[in-house]
Amino acid sequence: MNQRRTLIGLACLAGFVGLLLLILGTYDTQPQHRSALEVPSPTTTVPFPDFPTLDAFLTSLAPTTTTPPRQRAATPPVDGNVWDALAYCESGGRWDTNTGNGYGGGLQFAHSPAYSTWRAFGGLEFSPHPWEATREQQITVAERVLASAGSYRPWPGCARKLGLL
């Protein structure tokens, strides 16, 4: 029984050593044809492969996908037009944007079936969706929203950034 365990252990060890030599690139899978008198020199060195550092290895495993930056207008408006400044802040100055989050157009009007600022303030007279309306039509609806609210509260984040609140 002990002899059998010893043989199994040696076979496993030989397999492990063979695998290790194969991984290190020092084991040739092709048979060597040497004469009986040909013995390798004891000073022969086997080149050790260059392994990356642990940090380099872990970095190589990290995903390389990046999210594209939001598209913005080339420069923010400087002509003093509040609506263009708000649109720049809200949508990067893109009056035709549909973000798919329930808001659309340059001023990001709510247009979901449950709550639609666009519909409530007459946007449907121009188009079914805010991003299909022109800049001027969106501003007309925005002025109606502003008149009803009495301030720029419907655009809280950007109005605060622009000093309108």
**Rounded Cα distance, 86 and 63, in Å:** 36
pLDDT for position 67: 52
Give pLDDT tens digits for 37-76: 555 566 656 555 566 676 666 666 666 555 555 544 434 5
Does pLDDT of 4 surpass 80? no
The region of weakest confidence among 7-16, 33-42, 50-59, 97-106 is 33-42
Domains along the sequence of the chain with CATH: 82-161 (1.10.530.10)
Query: Average pLDDT for residues 101-106, to the nearest whole number?
Result: 91
pTM of the full predicted structure?
0.53
